[in-house]
Structure 1
Amino acid sequence: MKFYIYFILITKTLVLANNIRGTVSNQYDGKPLAGVNITNDSIGTTTDNKGRFTINVKRKTPLKFSHIGFRVIILPASPNMNIRLTPKSIRTDEVMVLSGLSEKSNSQNERNITVLDSDDITNSSANHFQTLMENMPNLSWAGGTSRPRYFQIRGIGETSHYFGEGPPNFSIGFIFDDLELSGIGMLGNLFDVMQIETYKGPQSTIFGANAIGGVISIRSYDPTDSFDLKISSGIGTDKHRRFSTAINIPIVKNLRMRFAGDYNYSDGFRTNNYLNTFNSNKREEFYSRIKIKYHYMNKIFVLGSFLYTNFDNGYDAWAPDNNKQYMTYTDQLGKDSQKTTGSSLRLRLNIADDFDIVSITSFTNSNLVHAYDGDWGNDVYWYENYGFDSEFEGWRYSFFDENNRVRDCFTQEIRFLNENFIFGFYNKDLNEIDEAAGYLFGGLATNAKSNYDFKVFSGYAEYKKNISSKVRVLLNARIENNIIDYNGVSYGYQGYSLPNVNFNTKNILTGYRCALISKQSSNLMINASIAKGFKSGGINQQPYLNDLNRPFGPESLISFELGMRYNRFNFKSNLIGFLGIRENQQISISSQQFEGDPNSFLYYVSNSGSGHLRGVELENEIKITPKLNLNFSGGYLYSWVDEFNYYLQNDIMVTGGNRETAMSPKYTASIGLKIQNENGLYSGISASYKSAYYFSDGHNQRSNPYFLTNLFISKSIGKVNLKLWARNIMNQFYANRGFYFGLIPPNYPNQLFVSYGDPRQVGITIDYELNR
């Protein structure tokens, strides 16, 4: 009898302890809600990007459904639950900012951040962050590489990092799933990416010395509780082809895994007339990622990420005649490749209701090759077009540079968080070894090797306090110790050794931020802030510099901002004005040392003294009807560098500055319109504009203003989505980098040479998704 009772109880428990499944959507517009917390006393989960959830509880167990901006509800568990959450007062398709010291609603965030969510990314048809950058106000990138590596936000940021340009510390940070990739940001593939967060203005109190101008953070999808399979395939002009897949697998209770892989190829839009090839500028990119997520009783949360990328890109983007047929004449193939392996581990421990400890560990190993034909021509070209006969002259007009770079970066961060206070510690240990061959240090060396050890130790804190029911204050501070050790060897012609360089420098850097936030109503927030950002100093690598001139000092930026956010169901607006004062501004100068040698550039960095910037940014989204959306943004920027001096060959002093900074278009704007109907047809068009800007701080040549227009049309049929897309549909010619120097024999007059951005490209993408 006793056995019989036990059997009934066990059977009843097994029957009632089911995988309860359901979906959570927005009561206002019926859209699924991602990130909704579903909990009871002993277990919890969150909804995926489709609003779906699975939780292993008994039927009729009380479940609590909560999400920022919505009213909390408690309902008994039942099969196939269909939950609709009612908004409080803010717009319901709220986006969370994930990369700060704590997760915050974007509409309530006091920092100026542009967030592109999964809908923005998917609807753009972009396969790389490069395409989306044109739509962000006051964000630019410098060409000279196959993919963007060097970014400028509000006129601050590097335009290159050739051998000899100093240590691997940068003005704009680039982070992918907690992996530190600043200065090597080619990795911008967008398949299975959840959102992109672009911080503008000094962010050193959060991210340290690589964030004086801002930070770009890309976050991919985390594993969810339900099975999901995505397959995407596409073809297009320029022999474009792409295949991608992602699979999400719940392994056991509270443990799930997500895998994503992406292969992308195109010829690179160039025809090499001399080598008779069409792919000398190719983009061949492979990216893969595994994420594992585990949680236990809402007390322990673990997220592990593993990344492998292989970008085997060519580089052949320049021509001596600046032709607009995308024709090149090089006789030596260039390369711009990157292999990166990385892993990160994020651990969160919920010690008490209002106290968490967060640990973030990451490691990356990157191998990069940047090589190029420095004269952009060949013997036949120079003879037929300019009469340069190598046999008669007794030497070939042929130059080639190659830089092989290996970077290892380890970071460890630990944070302690409660409702009003955060403090933490950060450590970074970065080693970069560069080996270069060519005409280095202005022609002094033919081979060189450098070794940078860059160590960072910092502590930081954040405190917030409500002054009244509508006003709160937020205070941030950071102190950082940067230590740079440099060892360099170089060899001149016939193998003779140049002076070795062994040098170290140490900088103690401090940053702060004070923000005042006033919530005028449920829809309107006004904020004002003052912040100080910093960038570490460094070491110039030229062998013959004396110890006094070898180091350059750290730079700081004092920024004042005043902003307004307005957020209703059918209208979002973000308006911000800013003023920045740059102290000990670092200027990177490149000067050609010898006439007739296009690779004899000497690179060095110095502190110019000061500069300033000011501007306005506006971002708006209007929901005209439930099926019609309008987005428009604009930026105004005035970024100035004060006068400074530098030297050309033969100790000729040249004065620079006293003008706007490089890569700082005064006006940027974009507008986009998206419409969908009841039959699954969805279409959109967007246009962006950039005004003229200086290519470099070392010369006064400027770009031309340009417009770019993209469009897409998609049709959903069941689980399949077919999309036709076109980029740069007006086939605009626009320069993304310009050099001013003497290249053309026999007199080598200085003139402007430019590389052009991508021409028109059209393609078709087919997506399939299976989920349970």
Structure 2
Amino acid sequence: MYKNLITLSVLSLSFSSWANDVNSVKADDAAMEVIEVTADFRTRSIDATPASVSALSKADIERRSASYLDEMLNAAANVNFAGGASRGRFIQIRGIGERSQFVDPINPSVGLIIDGINYSGLGAAATLFDIGQVELFRGPQSGRFGADAMAGMIVMNSVAPSDDVRGQWLFDIGNYNKRMAGFAVGGDLAALGRGRVSLSQLNSDGFTYNDYLQTDDTESRDEMTVKLALDSDLGQHWQLQSRYHHIDVNNGYDAFSLENNRHTLSDEPGYDRLQSDALRLQLNYTGWQHSRIELSSTWLQADTAYAFDEDWTYVGIAPGWEYSSFDAYERDRDDATFELRWLSQQPIELFGIPSDWVIGVYHYRRDVDLLRDYFNYDRDEATIFTSDYQSRSSAIYAEWQQHWRDDLTVTWGIRGERYDNDYIDSNAVIANPSDTMWGGRLSVNYQVRPQTYIYTTLARGYKNGGVNGEALGRAKDQALTELEDYLLARATFKPELLWNAEFGVKGRSEDQRLTVRVSSFYSWRDDVQLKSWVNREQSFVGYIENAASGDNYGLEAEVGYQVSDNWRLFASAGWLQTKIDGFVTEDGVDMSGRDQAQAPNYQFNLGSDYWFNEAWQLQLEVDGKDGFYFSDSHNQKADSMLLLHARINYHIGDWTLTAYGRNLTDEDYAIRGFYFGNDPRDEYVTETYKQYGEPRRFGISASYQF
């Protein structure tokens, strides 16, 4: 294993050396744009960032005609997502991440931040209109972001306000009755500063036909996003940044079929909804010569509703064997954050070494109220379940960058965080999980040549522990009597820790035509939090259990090559190996030595961007992914997939007219899978049930940039 990592590192370095020697094609206008990463404590170029980061630009989003984050993720190495909802809103990085949420609160392994607002656990908010860049950080980022970033962080930044008037119109129609419109405009607002507003609305019938109800819109999509941004100069040294979001998602959810196709039989189709309002204010003071102050606060209020037809059928499908149940979850979430940061504006001498530094404090409050409406088979009646979950987290952090030489930087960072959570529910379960954790990183970044960097990083991430409220509350159910002691023993679960060692090379050729970024990594997971299930007839109880350990190691690579002035090729690839140790399911299956769930061994994306002339442009992409296990508690797998996408653009002035297609070969590929008996017609024989990703999509769009 370690020999493999050493070999990968040597190959990475060799590849970088070759990149710097490529000078065969010269063109004055071929210089590639320098990509900047904004989510760290300081903005810097992606090549100078000592981490495995992918930056998906506005042009990348447009190339795939994407309207939501899951339509982009197959283009990123070692990033996967799970369905189980109307969108793929559960994300895994390097094989680590949640796959669902039902009764209990979850602690995300992969966080989501949009315009500085923490949307972790609210993946439905990840709409893409007027997003300027998506930054995907792989590996633990807890030193920067805390417990929500043990496996990585996704940061989405909207197009920033500008001094001059800039904006766009977008109109898009496609199959499955897709209609989308978007408008954004920004510019100078005199004394108020610089502002921008964006609005988008997407509607679609979805990809399911309900044979019982004779309708094709039980998985409809209805998604509206409104964003406001204002950057104000309050004086010579004071700046205020204001961001407001309103998101309204009202989607249907009717994805699973007893026949494992896109034809369902449910008589009570479900839904997947989000209505949220969020505000962020950041006040900056830059009046000191060597340092500045950043003070920020955010508020988020979100109502979510998630429901599904639990039996997936209708009354009368199999008299004597059938059951009928509708399961609905409504959550009311209120978040608030406060952060004060003091950081250097230019290096100062510390112990004789030019150094940059940052010191900060952070406080986070999250309150979540759940109301579940379901049929309780133990009581044989419809039941209302409620819970209240209050989470408080406070942290202090510091980071020190030492510039030992002009070409050598060493970064030390540490974060200490204390969480105190209170949980109470209508089953009289009361719990107060709390702990103190720490994370951080040590990295060395060496600039080999003007355009080539080598880095190595050792980072520690962490994730909160918690309570298995559902397991505790149902331990005394009559149908689960034999498992009472088993469930009570799993009342709580411990925090998870992740150590990650990483080596990477990033650079470009002297003529700017070739760009290469390669990272190799090895991760150690302690007290791995894994989702498990107890299934007894119509009784399903989910809980989180700590496995002893886990290992994740692999490689990520991104390559871009400007073949000529009018032709660019690009590719990304990921190789991933994972393992579980010390995990035995409730029915006695030892999963030790097996791959972790949602962790394909390989992924790749290949693309071409070709201009025939100043008007016509052809863009092609291919996504590939290995098969992977759906769950850590059973051994059913998704098949490998290969998807083809294409887009033809006609540019005339500020207008772009587009015809596009995704998954042109109409491949059925699974994005979520369960393994249990749910078909009354065969007396509930255990089977694998799959939810499929989007089928062949095609459409036309018109956009106007001004």
TM-score (norm 2): 0.90
1:722 alignment partner, one of 654, 657, 676: 657
Shift of 1:560: 0.4
Would you say 1:467 and 2:439 are equivalent positions? Answer: no
Decide whether the 8 Å contact of 1:591 with 1:698 is kept in 2: no
**Equivalent position to 1:416, from 342, 345, 348:** 342
Could you tell me how far apart the structure 1 residues matched to 2:602 and 2:171 are?
Answer: 37
Q: Distance in 2 between matches of 1:631 and 1:92?
A: 13
**Pairing 1:455-534 to 2, within 5 Å after superposition:** 455-490=392-427, 500-534=428-462
1:157 pairs, out of 82, 97, 115, with 97
Match of 2:328 in 1: 402
Q: How far, CA to CA, are the matches of 2:334 and 2:383 in structure 1? A: 26
Q: Which residue of 2 aligns with 1:129?
A: 69
Q: Distance in 2 between matches of 1:646 and 1:579?
A: 26
CA distance in 1 between counterparts of 2:592 and 2:369 reads: 32
Question: Partner of 1:453 in structure 2?
Answer: 390
Structure-2 residue corresponding to 1:184: 122
The one-letter amino acid of 1:252's match is: A
SS in 1 for 2:287: strand
704 and 442 in structure 1: CA distance in 2 versus 1, 3 angstrom threshold: farther
Measure, in 2, the Cα distance between the counterparts of 1:697 and 1:316.
24
| Unmatched runs of 5 consecutive residues or more in structure 2 | 1-25, 348-355, 476-483
Question: Aligned partners of 1:681, 1:301: CA distance in 2, in Å?
Answer: 43
**Aligned partner of 1:577 among 498, 510, 520:** 520
Query: Quick one: higher RCO (CA 8 Å, sep 6+), 1 or 2?
Result: 2
Shift of 1:396: 5.2
Shift of the alpha carbon at 1:303?
1.2
SS in 2 for 1:121: helix
Which whole-Å deviations, capped at 9, do the CAs of 1:282-338 have from their partners, x for residues lacking one? Answer: 111011111111125662222101110110000001111113xx2111000210111
**1:540-619 paired onto structure 2 within 5 Å:** 540-541=468-469, 542-543=472-473, 544=475, 549-568=490-509, 569-594=512-537, 597=538, 600-619=539-558
Q: Distance in 1 between matches of 2:562 and 2:191?
A: 40
Calculate percent identity across the aligned residue pairs. 28
With over 3 angstroms needed to count, the CA separation of the structure-2 counterparts of 1:526 and 1:229, relative to structure 1, is closer
Residue by residue over 1:385-412, the C-alpha shift from the partner in whole angstroms, topping out at 9 and shown as x without a partner, is xxx22xxx3x852121110111111111
Looking at structure 1, the residues matched to 379 and 198 of structure 2 have their Cα atoms a distance apart, in angstroms, of: 46
1:641 matched to which residue of 2? 580
| Partner Cα distance (2:405, 2:521) in 1 | 26
Match of 1:277, as an amino acid?
A: T
Match of 1:57 in 2: none
**1-structure distance, mates of 2:527, 2:379:** 29
1:532 maps to a residue whose letter is R
Conserved 8 A contact 1:127-1:190: yes
CA deviation map 1:117-171 (0-9, x unaligned): 222222322111111101111001111011122110001101111113xx33210
**Which of 163, 182, 196 is residue 225 of structure 1 equivalent to?**
163
How far apart in 2 are the matches of 1:434 and 1:28?
60
Which residue of structure 1 lines up, in the alignment, with residue 34 of structure 2? Answer: 94
Contact 2:221 2:252 in 1 (8 A): yes
Q: Which SS does the other structure have where 2:62 is aligned?
A: helix
Asked if 1 retains the 8 angstrom alpha-carbon contact of 2:294 and 2:340, the reply is: yes
Letter in 2 for 1:609: A
- The SS at the match of 2:213 is coil
Q: Is the 8 A contact 1:107 1:567 kept in 2?
A: no
SS in 2 for 1:107: coil
SS at match of 1:145: coil
Distance 2:577 2:295 in 1: 40
The Cα shift of 1:354 comes to: 2.6
- Displacement after TM superposition at 1:468 (Å): 2.5
Q: 1:657 to 1:186 in 2, by over 3 A?
A: farther
**Shift of the alpha carbon at 1:95?**
1.5
Contact persistence 2:234–2:240 (CA under 8 A): no
8 Å Cα contact 1:351/1:357 also seen in 2 = no
Distance 1:28 1:460 in 2: 46
Tell me by how many angstroms 1:765 deviates: 0.7
- Alpha carbons of structure 1 residues 298 and 682: separation in structure 2 relative to 1, 3 Å: farther
Note closer, same or farther for the CA distance 1:106–1:443 as it changes in structure 2 (3 Å cut).
farther
CA distance in 2, matches of 1:681, 1:643: 57
Distance 1:92 1:301, change over 3 A: farther
The structure 1 residue matched to 2:266, chosen from 326, 330, 334, is 330
**Deviation (angstroms), 1:340:** 1.0
Aligned partners of 1:519 and 1:295: how far apart in 2?
A: 36
Partner of 2:23: none
Please show how residues 235-384 of structure 1 align to structure 2 within 5 Å. 235-253=173-191, 255-295=193-233, 299-323=237-261, 326-380=262-316, 382=317
Q: What is the aligned partner in structure 2 of residue 42 from structure 1? A: none
Per-residue deviation, 1:99: 1.3
Contact 1:340 1:364 in 2 (8 A): yes
SS of residue in 2 equivalent to 1:206: helix
Distance 2:166 2:57 in 1: 19
CA distance in 2, matches of 1:527, 1:579: 15
Within the candidate set 728, 731, 739, 2:674 is matched to: 739
Q: Is the 8 A contact 1:591 1:602 kept in 2?
A: yes
State the distance in 2 between where 1:248 and 1:301 align: 18
Matched residues in 2 for 1:528 and 1:474: separation? 10
- Cα offsets for 1:672-700 (capped at 9, x unmatched): 00011433212200001010100001100
Greater shift in the superposed pair: 436-445 or 278-287? 436-445
What SS does the aligned partner of 1:119 have?
Answer: helix
C-alpha displacement at 1:369, in angstroms? 0.7
- The 3 A distance-change label for structure 1 pair 442 and 174 is farther
- Cα 1:221–1:274 change in 2 (3 A) is same
Q: Which runs of 5+ in 1 are unaligned?
A: 1-26, 32-90, 383-387, 491-499
- Whole-angstrom distance in 2 between the partners of 1:409 and 1:127: 26
What do the CA deviations read for 1:487-533 (whole angstroms, capped 9, x no partner)? 0114xxxxxxxxx0111011100112100111111121111111110
Residue type of the alignment partner of 1:760: R
- Asked if the contact 2:27–2:565 (Cα under 8 Å) also holds between the matched residues in 1, the reply is no
C-alpha distance in structure 1 between counterparts of 2:703 and 2:378, whole Å:
51
> Is contact 2:208–2:217 with CA below 8 Å preserved after alignment?
yes
Q: Secondary structure at the match of 2:637?
A: coil
Q: How many residues align?
A: 654
> Post-superposition shift, 1:655?
3.2
Alignment root-mean-square deviation, CA: 1.9
CA distance in 1, matches of 2:27, 2:555: 33
Distance 1:301 1:729 in 2: 48
Secondary structure (helix, strand or coil) at the match of 1:584 reads strand
Structure 1 residue 107 and structure 2 residue 47: aligned?
A: yes
Q: How has the CA–CA distance of structure 1 residues 530 and 443 changed in structure 2, closer, same or farther, with 3 Å as cutoff? A: farther
2-structure distance, mates of 1:441, 1:113: 48
- SS of the aligned residue for 1:352 comes to coil
SS of structure 2 residue aligned to 1:656: coil
What CA distance in whole angstroms lies between the structure 2 residues aligned with 1:458 and 1:92?
39
Contact residue 266 and residue 284 of structure 1 kept, 8 A: yes
